[in-house]
């Protein structure tokens, strides 16, 4: 199958490209940035807001993984109009191009953020049937919800088939250096202080990027059409556990400073990926610490 991957030069996108090729697909990366890693994929330099270029790139019957979006939530806060152009508006352009050309399906990279982060719900298990956040506390969340709803609208109005993939928090090779895991690794290696708000018991379900890429490929299956899937880690990992795991792997003690907790700091809740297991036979292969060890090994090699 021919597959277009918008944002295929990025952190997650490059791993999705690798996995798609490994499964025998013909892949075209559509991105403003040139791929930085060796790949058998073709490359088209293009902006996802450029409808004409999208239409020229997509062939009838193609599947389109739409991963291009603003991934930095801080930038979303600082530049909301620009960030939304690259997130929900770009999704609208991809859907319209898919409609005009006759693509087989659009697979949207969304996020667990669409469920919101309301305190007091820490014991609730979140499935794909749970409602969107009623009062989103970030514009990033708003844009991702809008992108999902555009997919629903294009399916209902024009018959454009879609699959929505709600990612957990990814980590691994090629991650942006300012994200939590590489930032913590760097601080431990340089003997710099890691600041933890509260007691560090707030948790997330980190997902190894190679497992996440496999989940993306699984979503190409026929029974994933017009479905929503959580693609998340299996384990609850606290901020303090991230540091402790890195201490064991690096064999180096971290300098930690505990400070007053942020007001309304979200403690976390369990987001189930059982639907992906039942329908797609997908689940993360690596435990959190096993995946972290693989990433640290890669990180240290890259620093040599």
Q: Give the burial string for 219-228 (b: 16+ CB within 10 Å, else e).
A: bbeeebeebb
- Kindly report, residue by residue over 64-115, the tens digit of the pLDDT: 999 999 988 889 999 999 999 999 999 999 999 999 999 999 999 999 999 9
Q: Which residue has the higher pLDDT, 268 or 264?
A: 268
Token pair for 68: 């291009």
Residues 26 and 20: their CA atoms lie apart, in Å, by: 8
For the beta carbon of residue 78, count every other beta carbon within 10 angstroms.
10
- Kindly report, residue by residue over 197-207, the tens digit of the pLDDT: 899 998 899 99
Given this model, what pLDDT does residue 42 score?
98
- Kindly report, residue by residue over 165-187, the tens digit of the pLDDT: 999 999 999 999 999 999 999 99
Given this model, what pLDDT does residue 119 score?
58
Share of the chain above pLDDT 70, in %: 97
List 45's β-bridge partners, or say none.
Answer: 31
For the beta carbon of residue 261, count every other beta carbon within 10 angstroms.
15
How confident is the model over 18-39, as a mean pLDDT?
97
First to last CA, the chain: 39
Residue 206 parent element (H or E): strand 206-208
Domains in the chain, please, with CATH? Answer: 2-168+208-232 (3.40.50.720)
């Amino acid at each position: 199958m021919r597959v277009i991957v918008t944002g295929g030069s990025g952190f997650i996108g490059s791993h999705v490209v690798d996995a798609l090729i490994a499964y025998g697909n013909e892949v075209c990366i559509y991105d403003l940035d040139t791929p930085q890693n060796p790949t058998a994929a073709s490359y088209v330099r293009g902006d996802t807001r450029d409808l004409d270029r999208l239409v020229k790139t997509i062939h009838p019957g193609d599947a389109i993984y739409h991963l291009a979006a603003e991934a930095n939530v801080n930038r979303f806060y600082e530049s909301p109009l620009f960030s939304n152009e690259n997130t929900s508006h770009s999704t609208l352009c991809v859907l319209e191009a898919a409609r005009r050309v006759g693509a087989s399906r659009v697979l949207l990279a969304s996020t667990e953020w669409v469920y919101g982060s309301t305190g007091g719900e820490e014991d609730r298990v979140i499935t794909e049937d749970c409602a969107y956040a009623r009062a989103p506390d970030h514009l990033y969340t708003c844009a991702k919800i809008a992108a999902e709803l555009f997919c629903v609208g294009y399916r209902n109005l024009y018959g454009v088939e879609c699959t929505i993939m709600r990612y957990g928090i990814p980590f691994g090779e090629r991650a942006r250096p300012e994200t939590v895991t590489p930032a913590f690794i760097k601080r431990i290696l340089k003997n710099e202080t890691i600041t933890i708000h509260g007691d560090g018991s707030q948790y997330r379900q980190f997902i190894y990027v190679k497992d996440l890429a496999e989940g993306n490929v699984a979503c190409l299956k026929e029974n994933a059409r017009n479905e929503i899937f959580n693609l998340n880690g299996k384990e609850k990992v606290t901020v303090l556990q991230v540091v402790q795991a890195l201490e064991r792997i690096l064999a180096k003690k971290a300098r930690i400073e505990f400070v007053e907790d942020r007001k309304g700091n979200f403690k976390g809740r369990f987001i189930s990926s059982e639907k992906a297991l039942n329908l797609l036979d997908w689940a993360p292969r690596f435990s959190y610490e096993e995946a972290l060890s693989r990433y640290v090994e890669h990180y240290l090699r890259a620093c040599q």
